[in-house]
Amino acid sequence: MVTTTEKKGRFGKFGGQFVPETLMTALNELEQAYEEARQDPSFQEELQDYLHNYVGRENPLYFAKRLSEHLGGPKIYFKREDLNHTGAHKINNALGQVLLAKRMGKKKVVAETGAGQHGVATATVCALFDMECVIFMGREDVKRQELNVFRMELLGATVQPVDSGSATLKDACNEAMRYWVTNVEDTHYILGSALGPHPFPTIVRDFQRIIGDETRRQILEKEQRLPDAVVACVGGGSNAIGMFTPFVEDENVRLYGVEAAGHGIATGEHAAAFADLKEGVLHGSYMYLLQDDHGMVQEAISISAGLDYPGVGPEHCYLHDIGRVEYKSATDEDALEGFKLLSKIEGIIPALETSHAISFASKLAKEMTKNEIMVICLSGRGDKDVAQVRDALGGRVHD
């Protein structure tokens, strides 16, 4: 019901390969290499080995007893992607793609990063496999996430600040694509979210679906049944698509994606492409895209550097249109509340991105009963955000 292949690389009308001709050969090669790797037991074995011994999978599905009691609704479980090596789900995809790049004989890797989590994950796997690594990062994000910049440099990557446009994630994507066009013969682009031209949204989803596969197995072990609701935050949407994919056919499992509402949807200063529902083309993909009255891409606004992308992955667009996933949003303020709540009640400091999911889940919990089960994808840990949150709260946790 869900995977449509009316046209190659399409999810319904979304997706596609809207890139300069120079990249088409590379995309076709990537598609073919991925198809072969996917079916090659030795590739899968190597990937599993690194996921287990290097990333630390499988990670727990943790019953958040205190939060469940506090909210007074369903039993809440957290899928602990924050416990992965490098502190977020991003490493699942970076590892898969670097193995693919190595298999394709590429010498260099280029990537974009927003919050720095994907940049750190990419720099990490490049260190591990001795690949040259260039990371493009918006100048604004370099400022917001200076520790992550230092981390990437420690790992041997070159971080290139990007000044064009809004100097955030979309501009970093532009520069990474330009770099890839220029160096396409020996370079692989490790796209960090379920975005971009085909085959990237499919590759990223497949490398991230381990989140949902493990969750499904773990919840069946613990509860002998599937959850009633699953919640994940959505920027480009990689942790969400990874979490949702194994549940898409289970029609009784309600799926919720949570976008960043920034200063509030009504202010127009947000990062919620599903709030506007304007179709557009950016970075190779036909998708819902924030844009002005003349089709200029709008700057996405969010407290979280990892969610301020103006588009949303094409498969999410499709899942939205067929009504399989509900897309909601949480403001900066909501996210800060979620951030504080989880820290205080469960002793887990979540990433600001994840805090959006927590905020929405807290509201959803109030409409659910004690007999129900909710799973939240705890996509990353918040160490990287502590300084920013301190500033946002004016240095004080309590008013």
Partner 1 sequence: MTKTLQQVIEQKNEQGEKAFIPYIMAGDEGLTHTKETIRYLQQLGATAIEVGIPFSDPVADGPVIEKAGLRALAEGTNLRTILAMLEEIKEDVQTPVILMTYLNPLVHFGLQDFVKAATKAKVKGLIIPDMPLEECDIIQPFLEGTDIALVQLVSLTSSKARIQEIAEAAEGFIYAVTVNGTTGEQRDFQDHVMQHLKEIKSLVSLPVLAGFGISNRQTAEKMSEGIDGVIVGSAIVDALHRKDYDTIEQFFQKEPVETNS
Number of other CB atoms surrounding residue 322 within 10 Å: 14
Site map 83..122 versus partner 1, x via CB under 8 A: ----------------------------------------
> 75, 79, 90, 106: which one is catalytic?
90
Q: According to the binding rule CB under 8 A, does residue 236 interact with partner 1?
A: no
Sheet holding 14-18, edge to edge: 10-11, 14-18, 284-288, 279-282
Tokens found for residue 120 = 């750190």
Least Å distance, CB 251 to partner 1, is 32
Q: Which of residues 278-337 bind partner 1 (CB under 8 A)?
A: 278-284, 286, 289, 291, 294-297
Among 11, 12, 14, 17, which residue interacts with partner 1 (rule: CB under 8 A)? 17
Least Å distance, CB 148 to partner 1, is 24
Least Å distance, CB 297 to partner 1, is 5
Angle 332-346/352-366 helices, nearest 10 degrees? 80
Least Å distance, CB 8 to partner 1, is 7
Kindly indicate which of the ranges 177-185, 218-226, 314-322, 349-357 contains the residues binding partner 1, using the contact rule CB under 8 A: 177-185
- Chain Cα centroid distance, residue 115: 11
Among 20, 56, 60, 72, which residue interacts with partner 1 (rule: CB under 8 A)? 20
353 belongs to the catalytic site = no
Task: Indicate the pairing of strand 75-80 with strand 373-378.
Answer: parallel
Q: According to the binding rule CB under 8 A, does residue 18 interact with partner 1?
A: yes
Residue among 17 and 329 whose Cβ is closer to partner 1: 17
Contact 339, 349 (CB under 8 A): yes
Q: According to the binding rule CB under 8 A, does residue 12 interact with partner 1?
A: no
Tokens found for residue 330 = 């949480």
Residue 56: phi, psi to the nearest 5? 95, 25
Among 16, 73, 201, 212, which residue interacts with partner 1 (rule: CB under 8 A)? 16
Kindly indicate which of the ranges 17-25, 103-111, 114-122, 255-263 contains the residues binding partner 1, using the contact rule CB under 8 A: 17-25
Kindly give, in sequence order, each residue whose CB lies less than 8 Å from that of residue 113, ignoring residues fewer than 6 positions away. 119, 120, 122, 135, 136, 137, 141, 148, 152, 169, 172, 192
Helices (H) and strands (E) in the chain, counts: 16, 14
Kindly indicate which of the ranges 20-28, 33-41, 65-73, 337-345 contains the residues binding partner 1, using the contact rule CB under 8 A: 20-28
Sign, Cα dihedral of 321, 282, 126, 113: negative
Q: Which of residues 150-169 bind partner 1 (CB under 8 A)?
A: 164-165
Cα(17)–Cα(155) distance, integer angstroms = 32
Sign, Cα dihedral of 8, 377, 321, 261: negative
Residues written for the chain: 399
Among 152, 177, 241, 348, which residue interacts with partner 1 (rule: CB under 8 A)? 177
Tokens found for residue 241 = 């698509």
112 belongs to the catalytic site = yes
> 31, 81, 112, 299: which one is catalytic?
112
Kindly give, in sequence order, each residue whose CB lies less than 8 Å from that of residue 33, ignoring residues fewer than 6 positions away. 100, 103, 104
Residue among 27 and 303 whose Cβ is closer to partner 1: 27
Residue among 27 and 229 whose Cβ is closer to partner 1: 27
Q: Which of residues 23-42 bind partner 1 (CB under 8 A)?
A: 23-26
Contact 71, 365 (CB under 8 A): yes
Residue with tokens 């509340």: 337
Residue 337: phi, psi to the nearest 5? -65, -45
Residue among 94 and 282 whose Cβ is closer to partner 1: 282
Among 174, 208, 215, 355, which residue interacts with partner 1 (rule: CB under 8 A)? 174
170 belongs to the catalytic site = no
Residues that bind partner 1 (CB under 8 A): 8, 16-26, 164-165, 170-171, 174, 177-178, 181-185, 278-284, 286, 289, 291, 294-297
Q: Which residues are catalytic?
A: 90, 112, 379
